[in-house]
Amino acid sequence: MPELPEVETIVRGLRNGDHERKLLVGCTFTDVKLFWERTLASPVPQEFVERIIGQTIVDICRRGKYIIFHLTEEKLLIHLRMSGDLRVETIFDEHGVVRPDGRHDRVVFYFEDDLRLVFVDPRKFGRVWLTKMPEKILGKLGPEPLSPGLTCETFFDLLKTRRRQLKPLLMDQTFLAGLGNIYTDEALHLAKLHPLQKADKLTLEDVCRLLNAIRSVLREGIQKNGASIDWVYKGGSYQNTFRVYQRTEEPCLECGQSIKKIIVGQRGTHFCPGCQPFFS
DNA sequence: CATCAACCCTGAGAGC
DNA sequence: TGCTCTCAGGGTTGAT
C-alpha cells in the first residue's frame, strides 16, 4: 500500500532512471496499451491515447500519494492506491524478443528508443488521469507533511478546529497529504498519542510532538525505500522497523505492554495502551 | 462538520 | 489437493 515514502521512492527511481541508465525524462509517448479500461479515470480511452501520443515527459514529481508526470502539453497523474506499481523496461529482451505482458499489467506506455512504462495493479484500485488542469484533483489535498512551510503553530491551528479522531483525520488526504494506515499508526505511537484522541484536545506541545513524529517516520520510511508488505511493494525495508503496525499482541518496544488492534474508521489500527493513553 | 457503510478488487491464509 | 470463506486496504460516494 504505497504511502508517501513508497511513492517518493518510486518517483526518485523514475527520475534517476536506475534502469539500465535509460531515462524516462525526455521520452516521447508513441503508443498506449490498455488491459483494464477502468484504470483510466479520465479521459475516455480513445481520447486518452490520442492526446498522450506525441507528448514528451519533462519531469516527474510527487504530491501526496500522486505521481505527476509533467508532459509537454498536460499532466499525467497516477495514483497507485492499494497495490499499484510502476515498471520501467525495455520492450525487447536480450534475445530481441518482445517481453510478455504480466498478469497484472493494466496500462502500458510505449516510448521511442525501446522503452516502456508499465502500470501494474493486481487489485485494480489504481487510477490514471491525463489532464490540463491537475489542480482540479491535486487542489483538494492538504499540506505536505515534510514541507518546511508547515510549522507546529500552523498545524496546531489546523487541528484545533477539528473534533475528529486523530487517526481518521491524519489519514484524510484533504487534511494532510501522504499518510496512510501504516505511517499514521507509527507516527501516533512515536508521538505517544491515542488514535481515538480528538484533534481539538491537543496542546501545542502535543502537536509539535505529533508533527515531529510524522516527519520522523516519513523520513525514515524514505531512507529505507519504503515498507514492503503484502507481497505488493518490493525493495523497501521499513517493515523491519515497525513499532506497532502488524505487531498485535507483541510487546511494545518502549514499555513492554501488549500492542492492541482496534478498528477505527474502518481501518485496522495498532497502538500501545501503555504509551498512548487516552485523555479528555 | 463528523460518522458510518458500501463499493471497488484480488491474493493470501485459514479452515475443512 | 482443492474448495470456500474471510480479510486487508485508499479513496469515493452517499446516507444519517
DSSP sequence for A212-240 = HHHHHHHHHHHHTT----TTTS-S--GGG
Residue A164 appears among annotated catalytic residues? no
Tens of pLDDT, residue by residue over A174-213, are 999 999 988 999 999 999 999 999 999 999 999 999 999 9
Cα–Cα distance between A276 and A273 in angstroms, integer?
Answer: 5
- Helix residue ranges per DSSP H, chain A: 4-16, 45-52, 135-138, 152-160, 166-171, 181-190, 204-223
Stretch A139-143: mean pLDDT:
89
> Among A82-96, A228-242, A256-270, which is the least confidently predicted range?
A228-242
Q: For residue A40, list its beta bridge partners.
A: A128
Cα–Cα distance between A100 and A1 in angstroms, integer?
Answer: 26
A124 C-beta less than 7 Å away from strand B: yes
pLDDT-derived band of residue A230, with 50, 70 and 90 as boundaries? low
Q: Which residues, 6 or more positions from A139, have their beta carbon under 8 angstroms from its beta carbon?
A: none
**Interior/surface letters A107-145, b for 16+ CB within 10 angstroms, e for the rest:** bbbbbeeebbbbbbbbeeebbbbbbeebeebbeebbbbb
> Among A108-112, A215-219, A228-232, which is the least confidently predicted range?
A228-232
Residue A267 appears among annotated catalytic residues? yes
pLDDT at A237 over 90: no
Residue-level pLDDT at A266: 83
Residue-level pLDDT at A98: 93
Among A12, A51, A124, A267, the one annotated catalytic: A267
Q: Which residues, 6 or more positions from A107, have their beta carbon under 8 angstroms from its beta carbon?
A: A32, A33, A34, A35, A36, A39, A40, A118, A119, A128
Residue-level pLDDT at A228: 75
CA atom of A277 to C1′ atom of C10, Å: 27
Written as nine digits, the cell of A73 is 502539453
pLDDT at A161 over 80: yes
The rounded mean pLDDT for chain A is 90
Q: Which of A208, A79, A220 is nearest to A155 (CA)?
A: A208
pLDDT-derived band of residue A261, with 50, 70 and 90 as boundaries? confident
Q: Which residues in range 154-183 of chain A are in contact with strand C, contact meaning CB within 7 A of any of its atoms?
A: 171, 173, 180-182
pLDDT-derived band of residue A66, with 50, 70 and 90 as boundaries? very high
Cα–Cα distance between A270 and A181 in angstroms, integer?
Answer: 9
pLDDT-derived band of residue A257, with 50, 70 and 90 as boundaries? very high
Q: Are A184 and A170 in contact (CB under 8 A)?
A: yes
Rounded percentage of chain A residues whose pLDDT exceeds 90: 63
Residue A2 appears among annotated catalytic residues? yes
